[in-house]
Amino acid sequence: MKFHIFTFGCQMNVCDSDWIERALIARGWESASESGAQIFLINTCSVRDKPEQKVYSLLGRLRNYCRNRPETWVGVGGCVAQQIGRDFWRRFPEVRLIFGPDGVASVPDSLERLQAQPDLRISLLDFEDSYLERDAVPRAGGAAPQAFVNIMQGCDNFCTYCIVPYTRGRQKSRPSVRIIQECRDLIDSGVQEITLLGQNVNSYGLDAGGDGTGFAELLEQVCTLPGLKRVRFTTSHPKDIAPDVIEAFSRFPALCPGLHLPFQSGSNRILKRMNRKYTRESYLEIIQGLRRVRPDIALSTDIIVGFPGEFDADFRQTLEVMQEVGFDNSFSFKYSDRPGVRAASFQDKIPEADKSLRLSLLQKEQDRLTQKSLQGLVGRRLEVLVEGPSPKTPPDRGTSWKGREPGGRIVNFSDSGQDLTGELIPVKIVDAKKHSVFGEVDNT
């Protein structure tokens, strides 16, 4: 069968789609382009209204394919599938499979049943009590030198703006032996860099599924695996990041000096309304601790503007925290109501125009900080893990390669030699661009 997967949203969705693709190929199915596919899978995101609307417009587009070719149909997965559920069948008859994040492991079997029984429709929307392990499926030859490893599913934090606990369920930690085994298999298959993945990795093991291994201990086990060059983890939560996790940045050479630590707002009043369970002061203390143990650490974050009740003064405090920390990068969004979350019932919503103005001011400030961060790399010699050829090839410089330095920032460099994908290359940074830097191989 020929299939095509559309993926929206976070790295966990990308991971889920990647596993489904590899599992189907291992069963003899063929990954095809949109125009050549018979089965379409849409892995959806519901974190804001915009990505949810994208799903409906895509389904509208796929309806034409299905109308002209009856053997063609659609499966919808991810957070919008969990949120809307079987109502998809009423609204989109071409949808025959609906699966939530806990249903991913059962997708390949379900697709084969649906192929064998044309009148069948399947929904996989139940939440599991524990982390549902998936079949280990081979990685394609020549696969990327970096990989993501799920360590947990779901979240127990219930930030008042967030739909994730309702669509990905309660937190379920994956047994550490399974995580370590997957990491070993990846290293054996040539992976150089592993990113541990979860909604809130710092609370790993603190749920019924925990096997007594905490996140700091898991991090030590992974960082000391023979043959592994680089380790990263995401996403962290300021309320749970423990001192021994901060210390890990100076203890383990494999742990990369880059951390994504969402702070969302610089106002304690808004942080309380968001149910984030930390203050601007405690957040800044963590940053000081990180910089004490690893002065060259690169920091990124998430920020929401226009949360209900956010006054200009609150927004100014958000800008102040950005300037005080000097983030290397940030992902910023306008608040939008999500169905069923507490903040949706808050009265004092911010007009759209004010939200847009705050977002543009904030992103302009971030552009300035990012430029400063990238300029700070010029003249430095950094080790780059090459991800592949770079689209950014200056015409007079032969082949150009793209990769990331230990802090996670993108480096493009030119070299006329053989394929460098997966290599760790010493590069002298010579120029800073808007979102990346450019360098030259430096074997001195």
Minimum distance, C-beta of residue 232 to ligand SF4, in the bound complex (Å): 18
Minimum distance, C-beta of residue 49 to ligand SF4, in the bound complex (Å): 16
User: In this complex, which beta carbon is closest to ligand SF4, that of residue 236 or of residue 412?
Assistant: 236
* Residues counted in the chain: 444
User: Nearest to residue 193, comparing CAs of 126, 119, 256?
Assistant: 256
Q: Within 13 Å, how many C-alpha atoms sit on residue 15's CB side? A: 21
Minimum distance, C-beta of residue 323 to ligand SF4, in the bound complex (Å): 24
Minimum distance, C-beta of residue 344 to ligand SF4, in the bound complex (Å): 14
User: In this complex, which beta carbon is closest to ligand SF4, that of residue 200 or of residue 317?
Assistant: 200
User: In this complex, which beta carbon is closest to ligand SF4, that of residue 122 or of residue 163?
Assistant: 163
Minimum distance, C-beta of residue 373 to ligand SF4, in the bound complex (Å): 25
Q: Which positions touch ligand SF4 (CB under 6 A)? A: 155, 157-159, 162, 164-165, 199-200, 237
Q: What is the 3-state secondary structure (H, E, C) of the chain?
A: CEEEEEECCCHHHHHHHHHHHHHHHHCCCEECCHHHCCEEEEEECCCCHHHHHHHHHHHHHHHHHHHHCCCCEEEEEEHHHHHHCCHHHHHCCCEEEEECHHHHHHHHHHHHHHHHCCCCCEEECCCCCCCCCCCCCCCCCCCCCEEEEECEECCCCCCCCCCHHHHCCCCEECCHHHHHHHHHHHHHCCCCEEEEECCCHHHCCCCCCCCCCCHHHHHHHHHCCCCCCEEEEECCCCCCCCHHHHHHHHHCCCECCEEECCCECCCHHHHHHCCCCCCHHHHHHHHHHHHHHCCCCEEEEEEEECCCCCCHHHHHHHHHHHHHHCCCEEEEEECCCCCCCHHHHCCCCCCHHHHHHHHHHHHHHHHHHHHHHHHCCCCCEEEEEEEEECCCCCHHHCCEEEEECCCCCEEEEECCCCCCCCCEEEEEEEEECCCEEEEEECCC
User: In this complex, which beta carbon is closest to ligand SF4, that of residue 276 or of residue 402?
Assistant: 276
Minimum distance, C-beta of residue 270 to ligand SF4, in the bound complex (Å): 14
User: In this complex, which beta carbon is closest to ligand SF4, that of residue 171 or of residue 436?
Assistant: 171
**For 346, left (φ over 0), alpha (ψ -120 to 50), or beta?**
beta
User: In this complex, which beta carbon is closest to ligand SF4, that of residue 46 or of residue 199?
Assistant: 199
Minimum distance, C-beta of residue 158 to ligand SF4, in the bound complex (Å): 6
Minimum distance, C-beta of residue 420 to ligand SF4, in the bound complex (Å): 36
User: In this complex, which beta carbon is closest to ligand SF4, that of residue 17 or of residue 235?
Assistant: 235
Minimum distance, C-beta of residue 254 to ligand SF4, in the bound complex (Å): 26
User: In this complex, which beta carbon is closest to ligand SF4, that of residue 4 or of residue 172?
Assistant: 172
Minimum distance, C-beta of residue 199 to ligand SF4, in the bound complex (Å): 4
User: In this complex, which beta carbon is closest to ligand SF4, that of residue 164 or of residue 179?
Assistant: 164
User: In this complex, which beta carbon is closest to ligand SF4, that of residue 11 or of residue 157?
Assistant: 157
Cis peptide bond upstream of 234, omega within 30: no
Virtual torsion, Cα 304, 310, 316, 319, nearest 10 deg: -10
Structure tokens at 283: 């957040």
Minimum distance, C-beta of residue 301 to ligand SF4, in the bound complex (Å): 12
User: In this complex, which beta carbon is closest to ligand SF4, that of residue 15 or of residue 425?
Assistant: 15
